[in-house]
Amino acid sequence: MTKKILLVEDNQDIANIISINLSMLNYQVTVFHDGSEAYKQLNKSVDLAIFDIMLPGTDGLKLCKRLRQLQPDVAIIMLTAKSSELDVVKGLENGADDYLTKPFSVLELQARVKAHLRRNKNNTQLDDNKQILTFGELTIDPNLYQITLADNVLDSTAKEFELLCFLAMQPQRVFSREQLLENIWGYKHEGSAHTVNSTVNRLRSKLEADPANPFWLKTVWGVGYKFSH
């Protein structure tokens, strides 16, 4: 089945380049140049979305947050012309899975898109192990992509679930951010530590009684993260 991609980019030249190059990979690309117009269409099912942060009408951060509410499992990539860390962090905290800073190479974009679409619910490596993981009040179910804590089902994105499950399958083992990028996001890319950090922070906000002093997801300074129980 053809994968559907939603692209919202106000620069028509950039939008055309992205659309043409993704269409060459046999993806169905729907393009909007105005954030408000795109916002009205967010209820339509897509496999991946690409949002520029700075848009006329509704900005990319609001689009990202709303799409994440409507379609929790969709992959979202943010585009930004700004190099500041704040814009990157804001995008990731609003539910984006990844980001690219302009100017970027088309080949890099294609690689990111393919990696995210390859690692969806239906073909992720987590499906190789259907064992339900239980740690006291915490249950992680790879069959349902479901996290339960103290009998409460937690809302989580696909990437949040995959990250937690990957770490929990090997408790106490420390993984670097680069290892997590390769295993969860499917690529290696220097400078993408924000992607991992923001996903961990979102998980902590949902899992931890005190996110500043986490019990489940520990930071090993200078190395990476581990699952503890």
Parse the chain into domains and list their residue ranges: 4-118, 125-227
Asked whether the predicted pLDDT for residue 86 surpasses 80, the reply is no
CB 46 within 8 A of CB 2: no
pLDDT digits (tens, 9 = 90+) for 21-49: 999 999 999 999 999 999 999 999 999 99
**Amino acid 126: pLDDT:** 47
Give residues with Cβ within 8 angstroms of 28, minimum separation 6.
Answer: 2, 3, 4, 5
**Amino acid 103: pLDDT:** 86
User: CA 162 to CA 124: how far, in whole Å?
Assistant: 9
Asked whether the predicted pLDDT for residue 192 surpasses 90, the reply is no
The identity of residue 24, as a single letter, is M
Q: Looking at the domain that runs over 125-227, which CATH code has it been given?
A: 1.10.10.10
Res. 89 pLDDT band, cuts 50 70 90: confident
pLDDT digits (tens, 9 = 90+) for 210-222: 999 999 999 999 8
CB 126 within 8 A of CB 142: yes
Q: Looking at the domain that runs over 4-118, which CATH code has it been given?
A: 3.40.50.2300
**Amino acid 123: pLDDT:** 45
Per the model's pLDDT, the better-predicted residue between 17 and 145 turns out to be 17
Q: What angle do CA 8, 91, 172 make, to 5 degrees?
A: 130
